[in-house]
Structure 1
């Protein structure tokens, strides 16, 4: 298997020199352990996984003994199974003050974060690893995506150009390392086993009263609504569960790093805005599997092509920030008159409005809606339409046309 270099490696090296504890969270099978084991090569760091039931039992029942058996520097995999360890890691850290003593991985983001925040506040650097980004797959370097002409021109030079067919191939195949690296050539078979082996098992860890068939119906109903405002009532109806269950199960999907939300942009000068978040998957291959598209060609021509393309672009922009160890400030805009801006990117005291369209020739009508942000207290800067045009271009002085492959 060819190892695919991860952008987060640079951040891992940096925080290992500065913090005693590093925690890498993210869903199953995205390469957390593979990346850290690669970085461990040639060092004295030990490795232990709490997927091993014997090791898990010791960690839970006698954490002090566990840390005597596995002395730092050490990588502890799937640490969410033994939150009892956190207090003893804290004691060790406070006693020895050793940078990079503990590397931890975990697949249950928020549940895990609570335990970490309570015990290791100020001692831990928390990083998120997602499935592979476009830049990682094509071997490009990664910086957070901004609507800046110099930055966009740089991206155009180093990214691998792709046409509409190739973009939809990427969307359909998904971005899990096992598929991209060629270990699993059949993405549909991979996602079938991924759902039954990993998601189901981790879901049971968080809620053992879940019926497998109902959960599959539920996650399929969620996938069918990617890029839409969350409607728990509709999801519950399709999955034959009640709304409370639907909301609880959405929290589980978010906790496992399968989905994320874009919240509506608002400030006190903008009135009559909606308050419901929009829902996205980190990996579009899973969406395509759940919504039963048989090929990239049928997806490209199908009814969901716009929604899944939007999901892909939003997820890719989010990854450019997370892979640099930064938190993205991404929102969407929608008012009560249903006027909408797909992405509002906030950074450095400005707002960049972004539209996503499956067209190669976007017109000026697409950027008219950007003027809605002029009433916001934060100034509006350059806008962009991310679309299928082959190269970087512009609609006018204030609005750029950015190809999807350049993100």
Structure 2
């Protein structure tokens, strides 16, 4: 098992809250991590992937919860939403931290029947596919390096870049990283999602259109969400499309990056940017490895790769919030990270050699944001950090897994 950066935070939450919900996409490693925490913490382990356990939970949810030893892990709990009210009642009776560690492949907070059952009693931790820092043995220091550079401190040497196209095309799902045939694994993964998870969460029509919708979203990585235009392109009625997008978000397959909305006296666009949560899955939907990752498609996928790494680190640390920035006049930044200390603007470019013209938008943004902006940088396949003006830097992309 590769060490997970989330483990320390997960154990801390268990020491503070009666219930902790470990959420994330299927096959991200939730079961492996929860079993490890259960073994080390003396917790009983139960999974609703077991047909007998699931039948018992659905037949008599109150009796099932009443007979769970404490503390317990309950894996894939979204398969039996009937359990949440009995869990609430038992937690209120017991009044102890770390009573239950729940895991699930769907965001239960987006499911209306359980949205408020454990409010005030439950903390949520998100386990996304492997971060490159976890694969490479890094410590998840990228946000710290940004703040250190903003304070004038020198950066350490950047980690090796390796084969960037292979890295992006592989993504972070543990089975794809640890040796299974990615093409066959991603095909089976999508089949499982459609045949079980989607059907369990929602009764929706035109199920066969979901793979096409995912492929279109993969080709639009980092684009602004325009649901009406997307509806026309994929041939799905607008209300149905909105339900599809909400479902894909609940399954942690699609993530929306919100726009920054600071008061600048400028007209900022309010649409979120949309990414698939894993570039390996996106590359598979785009036909890789049969179709090479080149041109504009490669640039969009590289941006999505950086977005995924930033979101993985944010899920572990939660001391910054990622946004995107775009004005109606065209000025934009791929990412605007909001720390308590201030803002960091980041762009992603696929070329290894940068020139002064590449930094003009970030320089304009620096002037626009003033003292609120701590640092602006372009992440690219370079080998070392280089200054391009006051507070503006070219940064090796590999710092993402430092």
TM-score, L = length of structure 1: 0.90
- Would the alpha carbon gap of residues 79 and 395 (structure 1) be closer, same or farther in structure 2, given more than 3 Å must change? same
The 10-residue stretch of structure 1 (375-384 or 239-248) with the greater mean CA deviation from structure 2: 375-384
Cα distance in structure 2, aligned partners of 1:227 and 1:279: 5
Which residue of structure 1 lines up, in the alignment, with residue 201 of structure 2?
A: 206
Which residue of structure 2 lines up, in the alignment, with residue 197 of structure 1?
A: 192
Cα distance in structure 1, aligned partners of 2:29 and 2:155: 25
Which residue of structure 2 lines up, in the alignment, with residue 170 of structure 1?
A: 167
Provide the secondary structure at the position in 1 that maps to 2:4: coil
Provide the secondary structure at the position in 1 that maps to 2:269: coil
Cα distance in structure 2, aligned partners of 1:295 and 1:401: 33
Residues 283-312 of structure 1 deviation map (CA, whole Å, 9 limit, x = unaligned): 00111111112269x21x344011000000
Consecutive unaligned residues of structure 2, counting only runs of 5 or more, are none
Given the alignment, which residue of 128, 131, 134 partners 2:129? Answer: 131
Cα distance in structure 2, aligned partners of 1:307 and 1:222: 11
Is 1:323 the equivalent of 2:316? yes
Cα distance in structure 2, aligned partners of 1:252 and 1:143: 32
Provide the secondary structure at the position in 2 that maps to 1:346: strand
Shift of 1:169: 0.6
The 10-residue stretch of structure 1 (139-148 or 332-341) with the greater mean CA deviation from structure 2: 139-148
Provide the secondary structure at the position in 2 that maps to 1:382: strand
Cα distance in structure 1, aligned partners of 2:109 and 2:324: 27
Provide the secondary structure at the position in 2 that maps to 1:310: helix
Consecutive unaligned residues of structure 1, counting only runs of 5 or more, are none
How many residue pairs get aligned? The number is 397
Cα distance in structure 1, aligned partners of 2:17 and 2:185: 36
Cα distance in structure 2, aligned partners of 1:289 and 1:237: 24
Residues 312-345 of structure 1 deviation map (CA, whole Å, 9 limit, x = unaligned): 0011111111123x16421112122222211111
Is 1:357 the equivalent of 2:349? yes
Tell me if structure 2 keeps the 8 A contact 1:108–1:257: yes
Shift of 1:4: 0.9
Shift of 1:162: 1.2
Tell me if structure 1 keeps the 8 A contact 2:314–2:321: no
Shift of 1:117: 5.2
Given the alignment, which residue of 379, 391, 403 partners 2:384? Answer: 391
Which residue of structure 1 lines up, in the alignment, with residue 87 of structure 2?
A: 89
Provide the secondary structure at the position in 2 that maps to 1:261: strand
Which residue of structure 1 lines up, in the alignment, with residue 326 of structure 2?
A: 334
Is 1:102 the equivalent of 2:95? no
Shift of 1:385: 0.8
- Would the alpha carbon gap of residues 212 and 83 (structure 1) be closer, same or farther in structure 2, given more than 3 Å must change? closer
Shift of 1:77: 0.8
Is 1:228 the equivalent of 2:220? no
Which residue of structure 1 lines up, in the alignment, with residue 3 of structure 2?
A: 5
Alignment of 1:17-32 (within 5 A): 17-32=15-30
Shift of 1:210: 3.1
Shift of 1:244: 1.9
